[in-house]
Amino acid sequence: MKDIACKLLVIGAGPGGYVCAIRAGQLGIDTVIVEMAKAGGTCLNVGCIPSKAIIHAADEYAAAAGMAAGRNAMGIHVAEPGIDFARTVGWKDGITGRLSLGVVNLLKKAGVKALVGRARFRDGKTVEVETETGLQVVRCENVVIATGSAPVELPVLPFGGRVISSTEALSLPDIPKSLAVVGAGYIGLELGTAFAKLGSKVTVVEAQERILPLYDAALTQQVAKRLAALGVDVLLNARVTGLSADGGALLVETPKGDERIAADRILVTVGRRPVTEGWGREELELDMEGRFIRIDGQCRTSMRGIYAIGDVTGEPMLAHRAMAQGEMVAEIIAGRRRNWEKVAIPAVCFTDPEIVSVGLSPEEARRAGYEVKTGQFPFAANGRAMTLVSEDGFVRVVARADNHLVLGIQAVGAGVSELSAAFALAIEMGARLEDIAGTIHAHPTQSEGFVEASLKALGHALHI
Amino acid sequence: MAIQSIKLPDVGEGVAEAELVEWHVNVGDMVREDMVLAAVMTGKATVEIPSPVEGEVVWRGGEVGDVIATGTVILKIRTAGEGGDEEAEEPARQERPAVEDKPAAAAPAERPVLPQQPEPPPPAAAPSGVPSGGPPRAPGERPLASPAVRLRAKDAGVDLRQLWGSGPAGRITHDDLDAFLQQGSDAPARGGLQPNKAITEIKVVGLRRRIAERMALSKSRIPHITYVEEVDITALEELRARLNADQKPGRPKLTILPFLMRSIVKAVADQPMVNSLYDDEAGIVRQYGGVHVGIAAQTPAGLVVPVVKHVEARDLFDCAKELLRLSDAARNGTAQREELTGSTITISSLGAMGGIVSTPVINHPEVAVIGVNKIAVRPQWDGTQFVPRKMMNLSSSFDHRVIDGWDAATFIQRLKVLLEAPAMIFVEG
């Protein structure tokens, strides 16, 4: 097969890789992208998107179940609801399929050549791709490594049989009667909550002393409360020792003693690891930073002409970070002056209720040496939240005490993920509390919580 | 708690207004009784305003450079005791200049009339008052700018850390970037000579402003006629050296100026018109019997003119002593208002820096100014040969509206005769 020569080769068509390739194509760069699975990567096929589909289905089902059980505040009642989970999964697959195809089309439209197969570096300028039709050699001036991440396996609980990762959890043939979730990070809790709503008996096992250890307690408290209401058992400070001899139960050490958790499925969500093997890293001289590839402010690795973006470069492993990096790298390769200078990367947990965090938490801001002012406004005082029967949660604003520059915004509550746009914009634009306080927020919306939290920090909230 | 208003006191006879030249306190400062609050300038004298009370400064009226009428409230101090002129119902936070006092003043005064009623704080204001410009960035702190500004800066190759942000909280705006780009765009490559595009704005306040106004007045009103004559001061210098060698306690060292002052007294006797003040609006020349000689003196703040009064009644050493005292006072800024006003004729001398010719500006409403140029040894023809003589030029200006060239020349020629034969200065009658 004839060698391909190009200016840019992108390895991995996840959100980082495909955005990089599209942008490069737009900028007229001769670009090739290689993907061994489906375009869209983890995010689109086995991550963000399908999990949100399952979560939404679970929410709908749980709402109907609540109505059937006479627990609906609005007075709606229905007959016993049912769910055809195979169809649910089919619907979900339809969405991911459409989106994946969409990515393929976007790449095509941008003039990017897409190869399907496993890429492997021969040297810093040459990559071999094992395609269905044979070995394709690509010679390129620049390479972007966007190989992403994969679920971490526990040595005592190797994946297989009942032990599944998030990928399998999104395509189960049926709803497990009982589900043990190992790891109370956002992936485990999102999926655990969804299955609890779908009727599974869910037990969450977490090694640390609280759920969602990366978020502060004020935020996670709301989630813990909801988990309890959903009948999810949460075992904290618990260590998994393995499976029972018959494989039907999870063995856990807790401060109160050993426990045996019977489970049809055991979902292991103890984090994700960067994919740094299997693509010929050993042929290169890349400096590493822990498990990750070391990059600089322009996503350059220690080798000239080789860039890395996304999960393979470190935390936070978020699709939107990878996309922003991909876009930037494409522009750098096009000769533009670019540097990573984002102020904040928003983080969202699609738990129940949802959590949004942008910028610094009060504690982080204090640790960074700022004297801070905070303002918190509860959704219990928000009219729109009441009409949505979701009064749990709040919006919190963290600002510098001296000049009122907003350093961080957090919220927990139903649907607050959509507020992340306003939060991120405020921080990226360098808003002060007065800027938010001086912006009219539409009534009645939950976004009023944002302006009220800012007013609260200024000392004169109106609705509390 | 009570609020005490501090008014601009009457700082001198007939002075209706004064220029605020310095604040010694800020809002929020605690002041003790007699602590200096502010300095104002009238004429050329600076007057310090002490605090009559102890308390916290809660309001300042006016900025440095403002001309304030006597009796205007310039400061409010919150005191602990009762009996202030204003009950402290709430913290006074307003920061507007005291210009909206008309309604309050017109209202029947149940309580003492205030220049400004305390207003409720504006709703969005932070209790501490948020600085609009924000503090300058701490070292290492990232510059604050919107993504669009950051992108433009990147494209232009500008490191935003070099910029100062004019926006809220020190945010760098598009305008700040524009200004920076404008400044940097036509700068040559590194190395070599760099054009310095810096423009420093210096507010013309205080003494400088007074000088500017006085000079503009003199030059716009007075048609100057300048007359230059050279004077052989060899004999005068010999005499001066002798007198200075003959040190006696209480006798200051003599410069050329006391001789000149005494010569002026003599010359004025023949040409009394030059020792006058011309009230050009009234159309009256006031010819003075007494000769009050102003001596232009350079001080760190600028030019001041201390005045030796009644030179006709002072001998040589008295003139020297008074001159020394006044110029020290002027340089130290301790000269009283009366010591800086009231001259009838002025001497302008730059000593060794005097040059060969100058065109001195008449100190309005005077009609004459005598400029002293530097002393230099120059060859003079004595009829048979060139001899070295100590020569000095006098460059003098006269108000041509009231002094004609002939009179001016006569006056200077008389001075020349006196200075060239200094014994004549001391001959009475």
- Interval B186-240: pLDDT, tens: 544 444 576 787 888 888 888 888 889 989 999 999 999 999 999 999 999 999 9
How high is the pLDDT of residue B335? 82
pTM of the model: 0.61
- Interval A95-116: pLDDT, tens: 999 999 999 999 999 999 999 9
Phi-psi category of residue B129: left, alpha or beta, with phi > 0 → left and psi -120 to 50 → alpha = left
Residue bearing tokens 């004729």: B345
- Interval B31-58: pLDDT, tens: 888 888 888 887 667 778 888 888 888 8
CA distance B403 to B224: 10
CA distance B395 to B253: 25
CATH class of A163-270: alpha beta
CA distance A424 to chain B (A): 11
How high is the pLDDT of residue B211? 87
Using the predicted structure, report yes or no on whether residue B121 has a pLDDT greater than 50: no
Cβ <8 Å between B130 and A404: yes
Backbone φ and ψ for B178, nearest 5 degrees, come out as -55, -45
Is the Cβ–Cβ distance between A401 and A431 less than 8 Å? no
* Residues of B identified as active-site: 400, 404
CA distance A315 to chain B (A): 21
How high is the pLDDT of residue B165? 87
The letter for the amino acid at B120 is P
Q: Which of B147, B155, B169 is facing A404, going by the closest CB pair? A: B169
How high is the pLDDT of residue B117? 42
How high is the pLDDT of residue B136? 57
Cβ <8 Å between B154 and A338: yes
Cβ <8 Å between B135 and A402: yes
Using the predicted structure, report yes or no on whether residue B138 has a pLDDT greater than 50: yes
Average pLDDT per 10 consecutive residues for chain A, totaling 464 residues: 94 98 97 96 95 97 94 92 96 97 97 96 94 94 97 95 95 96 96 97 96 94 96 96 90 93 96 96 94 97 96 96 98 95 96 97 95 97 94 97 95 97 96 94 97 96 92
Q: pLDDT tier at B83 (50, 70, 90 boundaries)? A: low
CB distance from A434 to chain B under 8 Å? yes
Q: pLDDT tier at B116 (50, 70, 90 boundaries)? A: very low
Backbone φ and ψ for B18, nearest 5 degrees, come out as -145, 155
Which of B128, B132, B150, B161 is best to mutate for the A interface (most A CBs within 10 A)? B150
Q: Between residues B266 and B88, which one has the greater pLDDT?
A: B266
CB distance from A404 to chain B under 8 Å? yes
Q: pLDDT tier at B258 (50, 70, 90 boundaries)? A: very high
Q: Which of B147, B157, B169 is facing A405, going by the closest CB pair? A: B169
CA distance B96 to A231: 61
Which of A403, A428, A456 is best to mutate for the B interface (most B CBs within 10 A)? A403
How high is the pLDDT of residue B128? 39
CA distance A404 to A381: 24
Q: Measure the CA angle with vertex A134, ends A128 and A139; round to 5°.
A: 30
How high is the pLDDT of residue B344? 95
CA distance B321 to B317: 6
CA distance A336 to chain B (A): 7
Close Cβ partners of A307 (under 8 Å, ≥ 6 residues apart): A142, A143, A144, A145, A295, A298, A299, A300, A301, A329, A332, A333
DSSP state of A396: E
Cβ <8 Å between A341 and B142: yes
Residue of A nearest to B167 (CA): A430
Task: For residue A443, indicate whether it is catalytic.
Answer: yes
Q: Give me the total of CB pairs closer than 8 Å, taking one residue from chain A and one from chain B.
A: 51
Q: Which of A169-183, B110-124, B132-146, B332-346 has the highest mean pLDDT?
A: A169-183
Which residues of chain B make contact with A341, given a CB cutoff of 8 A?
Answer: 142, 150
CB distance from A337 to chain B under 8 Å? yes
Range(s) within chain A of domains with CATH label 3.50.50.60: 4-49+88-151+273-333, 163-270
Structural domains in chain B, sorted by start: 2-106 (2.40.50.100), 147-183 (4.10.320.10), 207-426 (3.30.559.10)
Is the Cβ–Cβ distance between B369 and B305 less than 8 Å? no
- Token pair recorded at residue A89: 């999964």
Q: pLDDT tier at B81 (50, 70, 90 boundaries)? A: low
From the CA atom positions of chain B, what is the Rg in Å?
30
Q: Which superfamily is assigned to A4-49+88-151+273-333 in CATH?
A: FAD/NAD(P)-binding domain (3.50.50.60)
ipTM: 0.74
CA distance B290 to B293: 9
CA distance A194 to A188: 10
Burial of B285: CB neighbours in 10 Å, binned 0-12, 13-18, 19+: middle
CA distance A305 to A142: 5
How high is the pLDDT of residue B188? 43
Cβ <8 Å between A434 and B168: yes
Q: Which of B187-201, B294-308, B385-399 has the highest mean pLDDT?
A: B385-399
Which residues of chain B make contact with A458, given a CB cutoff of 8 A?
Answer: 124, 126
The letter for the amino acid at B41 is M
Minimum mean pLDDT range among B74-88, B152-166, B212-226: B74-88
Which residues of chain A make contact with B134, given a CB cutoff of 8 A?
Answer: 403, 405
Using the predicted structure, report yes or no on whether residue B108 has a pLDDT greater than 90: no
CA distance A438 to chain B (A): 8
Range(s) within chain A of domains with CATH label 3.30.390.30: 347-458
Longest dimension (CA), chain B: 93
Q: pLDDT tier at B105 (50, 70, 90 boundaries)? A: very low
Which residues of chain B make contact with A428, given a CB cutoff of 8 A?
Answer: 146-147
Which of B128, B137, B142, B146 is best to mutate for the A interface (most A CBs within 10 A)? B146
Which of B137, B149, B152, B154 is best to mutate for the A interface (most A CBs within 10 A)? B154
Average pLDDT, rounded, for chain B = 81
How confident is the model over B116-126, as a mean pLDDT?
A: 41
Cβ <8 Å between B150 and A459: no
How high is the pLDDT of residue B44? 61
Which residues of chain A make contact with B145, given a CB cutoff of 8 A?
Answer: 430
How confident is the model over B329-338, as a mean pLDDT?
A: 83
Does the bond joining B258 to the residue before it have cis omega, within 30 degrees of 0? no
The domain A347-458: what is its CATH number? 3.30.390.30
CA distance A165 to A24: 34
Which residues of chain B make contact with A337, given a CB cutoff of 8 A?
Answer: 154-155, 157
**What is each CA distance from A296 to A287, B5, B214, B272, in whole angstroms?**
11, 61, 64, 87
Using the predicted structure, report yes or no on whether residue B95 has a pLDDT greater than 80: no
